[in-house]
């Protein structure tokens, strides 16, 4: 029997991009069908779009029975969309791709070769350039990957994309991680498995606009850190200890100055500065603890990761 590849495509307001994507992936699918005799299924996830994305998807589903769509009741985010796609995928191999063609479809052949013939469980991609991206964004993205690889077990390659082809084993491992606060790049790294990295140059989006503002990305990176590392908690403890030591030294100095040299204690301004500083550090550390507490709180509620409003093709609602 021939292999089936499931392609998962999260779409949020991508009505303009979907037709380009469909044409491009169909071309690639034809090439791979001729070469390896594999079948494809496409799982589009409409992540609560406000434009005509769902209408466009339905039109494709009508004329192509390999097109499945899952439409969410609201915008749950790309992470939830990817999870829903993975749950719905039935393929021997599963790939995740953006709808905007920033993930070049031609790479699927190499990815398939790597997983099928080279003994890898998973073929992942990373961008070697960030051409066309704002400088500030690239700078912070690079710092983030550096910090992340230092402080967590989830080793993330710089420029790693969510674009990857996975075997069933890997998909099942990801699905077993049912956490509510999802950070896929961390999850991919954490589960391990033999991964082959393929590189490509950044390409610009074919139509529509990016859904990620700088601020949204910044918050996402904080989510990533709290989801895969408890290092900030350790840093908070170390800062606390450091301040205890400094305070102890200062007390000693004051005692000696007063008792031995008979110097009266002076310096209201310096006292105010210290109080402000210490209060700031305390608030910062409590904030860090709060972040973890908030994550734990949401996790214990066991809310569903996504809610489906409409779908075709036997996917449970
Ligand atoms: N996306 C999504 N839900 C969101 C935001 C984005 O499903 O809340 C999808 C989006 O439609 C696209 C992919 O995630 O297919 C990547 O988004 P985008 O291209 O805006 O990100 P960028 O490539 O600029 O990092
Ligand atoms: Mg994009």
What would the pLDDT profile of 261-271 be if each residue is shown by its tens digit? Answer: 877 767 777 78
Structure tokens at 187: 């999850």
Indicate whether 278 belongs to any domain.
no
Q: Residue 316: its pLDDT value, please?
A: 53
Kindly report, residue by residue over 194-241, the tens digit of the pLDDT. Answer: 888 888 887 777 777 777 788 888 888 888 888 888 888 888 888 888
Best mutation site among 8, 11, 16, 98 for ligand 1, i.e. most ligand atoms within 8 A of its Cβ?
98
Strands 4-11 and 93-96: parallel
CA 159 to ligand 1 centroid distance, Å: 16
Structure tokens at 66: 């390999």
93-102, 115-124, 212-221: range with lowest mean pLDDT: 212-221
Indicate whether 241 belongs to any domain.
no
Mean pLDDT score, 102-112 = 90
Q: What domain range includes position 192?
A: 4-229+303-311
Are residues 139 and 145 in contact, defined by beta-carbon separation less than 8 angstroms? no
Indicate whether 287 belongs to any domain.
no
Kindly report, residue by residue over 8-34, the tens digit of the pLDDT. Answer: 999 999 888 999 999 999 999 999 888
pLDDT surpasses 60 at 108: yes
CA 267 to ligand 1 centroid distance, Å: 56
Indicate whether 292 belongs to any domain.
no
Indicate whether 271 belongs to any domain.
no
Indicate whether 279 belongs to any domain.
no
Residues 99 and 208: their CA atoms lie apart, in Å, by 10
pLDDT bucket at 315, cuts 50 / 70 / 90: low
**Atom of ligand 1 at shortest range from CA of 13:** 11
Indicate whether 263 belongs to any domain.
no
Ligand 1 binding residues, C-beta < 6 A: 10-12, 14, 47, 75, 77-78, 81, 98-100, 102, 205, 210-212
Indicate whether 206 belongs to any domain.
yes
Percent of the chain scoring above 70 in pLDDT:
97
Q: Residue 254: its pLDDT value, please?
A: 83
Centroid of chain to Cα 106? 23
Ligand nearest to C-alpha 80:
1
| CATH code (residue 116) | 3.90.550.10
pTM of the model: 0.82
Percent of the chain scoring above 90 in pLDDT:
29
Centroid of chain to Cα 98? 13
Q: Residue 217: its pLDDT value, please?
A: 85
* Mean of the per-residue pLDDT values of the chain: 87
Residues 311 and 68: their CA atoms lie apart, in Å, by 7
CA 203 to ligand 2 centroid distance, Å: 9
DSSP state of 278: H
Q: Residue with the nearest Cα to atom 23 of ligand 1?
A: 210
Residues 126 and 103: their CA atoms lie apart, in Å, by 10
102-106, 149-153, 186-190, 249-253: range with lowest mean pLDDT: 149-153
**Atom of ligand 1 at shortest range from CA of 76:** 8
Structurally, the chain folds into a number of domains equal to 1
Q: Residue 237: its pLDDT value, please?
A: 86
Residues 28 and 4: their CA atoms lie apart, in Å, by 14
Q: Residue 314: its pLDDT value, please?
A: 58
């Amino acid at each position: 029997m021939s292999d089936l590849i499931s392609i998962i495509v999260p779409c949020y307001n991508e009505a303009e991009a979907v037709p380009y994507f469909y044409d491009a992936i169909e071309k690639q699918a034809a090439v791979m069908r001729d070469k390896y005799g594999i079948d494809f299924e496409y799982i589009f996830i409409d992540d609560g779009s406000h434009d005509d994305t769902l209408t466009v998807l339905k039109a494709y589903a009508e004329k192509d029975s390999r097109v499945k769509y899952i439409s969410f009741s609201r915008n749950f985010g790309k992470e939830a969309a990817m999870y829903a796609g993975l749950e719905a995928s039935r393929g021997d191999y599963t790939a995740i791709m953006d709808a905007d063609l920033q993930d070049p479809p031609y790479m699927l052949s190499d990815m398939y070769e790597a997983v099928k013939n080279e003994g890898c469980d998973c073929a992942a991609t990373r961008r070697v350039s960030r051409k066309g991206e704002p400088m500030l964004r690239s700078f912070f993205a690079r710092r983030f990957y550096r910090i992340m690889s230092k402080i967590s077990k989830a080793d993330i390659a710089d420029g790693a994309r969510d674009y990857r082809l996975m075997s069933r084993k890997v998909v099942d491992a990801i699905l077993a991680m049912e956490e509510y606060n999802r950070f896929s790049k961390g999850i991919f790294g954490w589960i391990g498995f033999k991964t082959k990295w393929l590189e490509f140059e950044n390409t610009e989006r074919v139509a529509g606009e990016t859904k990620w503002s700088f601020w949204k990305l910044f918050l996402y990176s904080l989510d990533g850190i709290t989801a895969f590392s408890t290092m900030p908690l350790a840093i908070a403890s170390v800062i606390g200890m450091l301040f205890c030591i400094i305070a102890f030294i200062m007390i000693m100095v004051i005692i000696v100055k007063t008792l031995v040299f008979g110097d009266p204690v002076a310096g209201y301004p310096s006292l105010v500065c210290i109080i402000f500083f210490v209060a700031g550090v305390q608030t910062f550390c409590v904030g860090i603890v709060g972040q973890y507490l908030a994550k734990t709180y949401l996790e214990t509620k066991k809310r569903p990761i996504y809610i489906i409003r409409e779908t075709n093709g036997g996917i449970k609602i």
